[in-house]
Amino acid sequence: MKRFVALPHKKYPIFIERGVLQQLGSLLTGIWSPRKIAVVSDHHVAPLYQERIVRQLEAAGFRTATFQVPSGESSKSWETAVQLYRSLTNNQFTRSDGVLALGGGVVGDLAGFIASTYMRGIAYIQVPTSLLAQVDSSVGGKTAINLDTAKNIVGTFHQPDAVFIDPDTLQTLPQRYICEGYAEIVKMSALEGGAFWQMTGEVHRPEDIVTQAEPLIHQSIAYKTKIVCKDEKESGLRQILNFGHTIGHAIELLSEGALAHGEAISIGMVQITQCFANYGLTKHGTLDGLVQRLQQTGLPLKSSLMSTADVYRQITNDKKNHGGRLTLVYLEAPGRPAMHSIPISQAELFLTGKKAPNSD
Q: Is 158 one of the catalytic residues?
A: no
Instruction: Tell me which of 180, 232, 234, 263 is the catalytic residue.
Output: 234
345 marked as binding residue: no
Q: Is 58 annotated as a binding residue?
A: no
256 annotated as a binding-site residue = no
Name the pairing type of β-strands 321-322 and 325-333.
antiparallel
CA proximity to 12, closest of 159, 162, 141: 162
Instruction: Pick the catalytic residue from 146, 158, 180, 184.
Output: 184
Of these residues, 44, 158, 187, 261, which one is catalytic? Answer: 261
Is 184 one of the annotated active-site residues of the chain? yes
245 as an active site residue: the answer is yes
Judge whether 25 is annotated as a binding position: no
* 263 annotated binding-site participant: no
Q: 289 among the known binding-site residues? A: no
The one catalytic residue in 152, 158, 232, 242 is: 242
Check whether 89 is labelled as a binding-site residue: no
Among 44, 187, 245, 320, the active-site one is 245
Distances (CA, A) of 90 to 65, 83, 96, 120, 163: 11, 10, 16, 17, 27
Does 79 count as an annotated binding residue?
A: no
106 marked as binding residue = yes
187: annotated active-site residue: no
Q: Residue 296 annotated as binding?
A: no
User: Do 145 and 78 contact (CB within 8 A), yes or no?
Assistant: yes
Which amino acid appears at position 113 of this protein?
F
Q: Please give the radius of gyration of the chain, using alpha carbons only, rounded to the nearest integer.
A: 20
Point out the catalytic residue in the list 9, 120, 202, 284. 120
Residue 249: active-site member: yes
Which one of 44, 158, 249, 320 is the catalytic residue? 249
User: Is 325 one of the annotated active-site residues of the chain?
Assistant: no
320 labeled binding residue: no
Per the annotation, the verdict on 120 as an active-site residue is yes
Name the catalytic one among 238, 252, 263, 293: 238
Give the whole-angstrom CA distance, residue 341 versus residue 343: 7
Known binder of ligand: residue 107? yes
H helices within the chain, ranges in order? 24-28, 51-59, 78-90, 105-117, 131-132, 175-192, 194-200, 206-211, 213-230, 245-254, 261-278, 286-295, 309-315, 347-351
Catalytic residue of the set 44, 158, 224, 320: 224
Instruction: Consult the annotation and say whether 129 binds a ligand.
Output: yes
Contact (Cβ atoms closer than 8 angstroms) between residue 106 and residue 114: no
Phi-psi category of 234—alpha, beta or left, where left has phi over 0 and alpha has psi -120 to 50?
left
Annotated binding site: 71-76, 105-109, 129-130, 142, 151, 169-172, 184, 245, 261
Annotated binding site for Zn(2+): 184, 245, 261
Q: Which residues are catalytic?
A: 120, 142, 184, 224, 234, 238, 242, 245, 249, 261
Annotated binding site for NAD(+): 71-76, 105-109, 129-130, 142, 151, 169-172
